[in-house]
Amino acid sequence: MLAARYRVEVRDRDGKLVTVIEGDSKSFTMNFIKLLIASHYNQNDVPTFSVYNVIGDVFYTGNIQTPYVGVPWQIFFIDYPSFYISFSPVPAIWLGTSSCANPALANGPCGSPVACCFGSSFPFSPYNLSPGVPCYGVTSCSPSLTEEGWAITITNQWLNTSHSPVTVGSMALVSGVVAISSATAGEVSGEVFEPYAIIVDNLPSPVTVWPGFLITVSYTIYFPV
Amino acid sequence: MPKSKVGVTLRIEVRDDKGRVVKVIETPSRSFTQSFANILFASMWSQYTLTDMNMIYSFYDVMGSPIFVAGFPTTLVCKGGTCYETPRNLNTPPGALLLNDVGFLFYSEPQYIASPYQSYIIYMPGIWPGAAFCPEPVYAYGPCSPISTSILSPSLFSFPSSPVYTASGWQLTYSQTWTNVTSTPVIVSSVALVFGASGDPIAPKYYILYAAIVDNVTPAVVINPGYSITFTYTLLYAV
């Protein structure tokens, strides 16, 4: 069904393009496939799969083990305010410092997460992510029909706001689903937002992003026509 | 960018009344529909964002009825310490079916049969056959000239139950068999992979059937009385 391409661009402080990498994405993740399969069922017979969020915490499809997502809802969700409403993560493409041993089985980008969130503990800050921009600048607002089929391009820009160079070895397309954290006697008592990786890829060679440099990362997913 | 290498495969098997395979067609699938692309995009956003950004997505169900995904139908207006709901000007046709958002788009077994579909020619998710070719499958609402279940009788729709990891990628397989229960031959010229979708507000009338993929069957296949035809879509997710 799905083929995806990734593109990585690094620009220096003057906006000059210093690195471009483009390639076929290798790995829709097992976590995504489990959520996708569970989304075919109804509430009465949805299978129980264990799924891991980007930091490796488990949640479940179905309604038996908590935290659970029931029949997964909006598995392609990249809505910026909903990501940011209670904590600092932002959609949609996160970066890690090292390669993943097996991207298809990874929960997110590997090594230390360096681009994922707002906060001074991360060297990259989101750039051009704005509530005032159509679809927050994360993606186009509607599909486009290309020679390769219907295309969805999702993009993030991250600015190295630290004083040190940062090495990027892997990237992940991150969506999120809502899970119920606890329920007793039919009463739901909590909801948690679970960011999870749809796709994880290793870069063919690590990319160094110097202080003040901007890295633009994008995935384009194609649905054949 | 180079062409993507991964696609969808459609396999068609025709069996005679003794169960013997008499015809096999295997071909790349051509067309995710425009409705699928639009519903997928709509599902990326919450009803709050759809409202705030004034975004409206539209697509068609299998009957060709337009569906609009537009966020909340009303907005809260406060004046002088009093707040009240006022309808938003969505500029959609009168009586159009509106969804606040889209949550589910791959339902393969319905939680209920929504009333608009109860009297339709086919009313469950599955792989539906059509008697006519579609001029442009990418813009089709479903198979062209859907064939009634009183002519081709369906088996249960088989859909994925666990992840299957192959050398080519994650493999998701959908399959359904239809048997000619009449005394005359039936021609199948198109086929569609049909899913259920729903969103907020969740109510039976908001359960929607739409075609994610539509393909023409070329050449058209003749199903003799007592014969059956099995459609199998294999979707590969790159690894």
- Could you read off the pLDDT of A5-62 as tens digits, one per residue? 999 999 999 999 999 999 999 889 999 999 999 999 988 899 999 999 999 999 999 9
Partners of B40 on chain A (C-beta within 8 Å) are: 76, 143, 152, 223
Instruction: Determine the pLDDT at residue A96.
Output: 97
A20 within a domain of the structure (yes/no): no
Domain count, chain A: 1
Partnered with residue A177 across adjacent β-strands are A194
Q: Quick check: is A151 in a domain?
A: no
The DSSP call for residue B93 is P
Give the DSSP letter of residue A116. S
A187 pLDDT band (50/70/90 cuts)? low
Mean pLDDT of A69-86: 84
* Average pLDDT estimate for A91-110: 95
Chain A / chain B CB contacts < 8 angstroms = 153
Compare A104 and B207 and report the one with higher pLDDT: A104
pLDDT the model gives residue B202:
62
Residue A123 or residue B110, greater confidence: A123
- CB < 8 Å to B237, chain A: 1-2, 28, 32-33
Residue A184 pLDDT: 60
Alpha-carbon A178 to chain mean position: 15
Query: Cα B235–B26–B169 angle (5° rounding)?
Result: 25
Cα angle at A116 between A112 and A118, to 5 degrees?
Answer: 115
Residue A137 neighbours by CB under 8 Å, 6+ apart = A128, A129, A130, A155, A157
In which residue ranges of chain B is pLDDT below 70?
Answer: 1-6, 201-205
B82-87 and B74-79 strand pairing? antiparallel
Residue A103 resides in a domain: yes
CA distance A210 to A159: 9
Residues of A in contact with B30 (CB under 8 A): 224-225
Question: Which letter does DSSP use for residue A2 in this model?
Answer: B
pLDDT reported for residue B5:
42
* pLDDT given at position B167: 85
Q: What percent of chain A has pLDDT over 70?
A: 94
**B28 φ, ψ (degrees, to nearest 5):** -65, 140
Which residues lie below 8 Å from residue B212, measured CB to CB, with a gap of 6+?
A: B32, B33, B35, B36, B192, B193, B194, B195
Q: Is A209 part of a structural domain of the chain?
A: no
Contacts of A54 (CB under 8 A, 6+ apart): A94, A107, A108, A109, A113, A116, A172, A174, A195, A196, A197
A143 vs B28, B41, B236: nearest CB: B41
Do B104 and A39 make contact, defined as CB atoms within 8 angstroms?
yes
pLDDT of residue A29: 96
Closest alpha carbon to A57 in A177, A219, A202: A177
pLDDT at B170: 92
Task: Determine the distance in angstroms separating the CA of A174 from the nearest CA of chain B, rounded to an integer.
Answer: 12
Reading the block at residue B22, the tokens are 């008499």
* Separation of CA B64 from chain center: 12
Q: What is the pLDDT of residues A131-143, one digit of tens each?
A: 888 899 899 899 9
Cis peptide before A92 (omega within 30 of 0): yes
**Both tokens assigned to A16:** 């000059």
Residues 47-86 of B with CB under 8 A from A: 48-49, 53, 55, 57
Q: Using CB atoms within 10 A of its CB, is residue B24 exposed (0-12), middle (13-18) or buried (19+)?
A: exposed
Tokens read off for B113? 């049969």
A79 in a domain, yes or no? Answer: yes
pLDDT value of residue B57: 95
- For residue B86, the Cα-to-chain-centroid distance in whole angstroms is 34
Which ipTM score applies to this complex? Answer: 0.92
Distance, in Å, from the CA atom of B7 to the CA atom of A212, rounded to the nearest integer, reads 40
What average pLDDT does the structure give for chain B? 91
Contact A10, A18 (CB under 8 A): yes
Closest CA to A69 of A85, A92, A46, A86: A46
Residues with Cβ within 8 Å of B26's Cβ and at least 6 positions away in sequence, in order, are B9, B10, B11, B12
CB spacing of B238 vs A25 below 8 angstroms: yes
| Both structure tokens of B66 | 């337009």
Bridge partners of B176, per DSSP, are: B231
Supply the pTM of this predicted model: 0.93
| C-alpha to C-alpha distance for A116 and A130, rounded to whole angstroms | 15
Host domain of residue A66: 27-143+157-203
Cβ under 8 Å to A: B residues 83-112: 101-111
**CB-CB under 8 Å, A224 with B30:** yes
Half-sphere exposure of B100 (CA within 13 A, CB side): 13
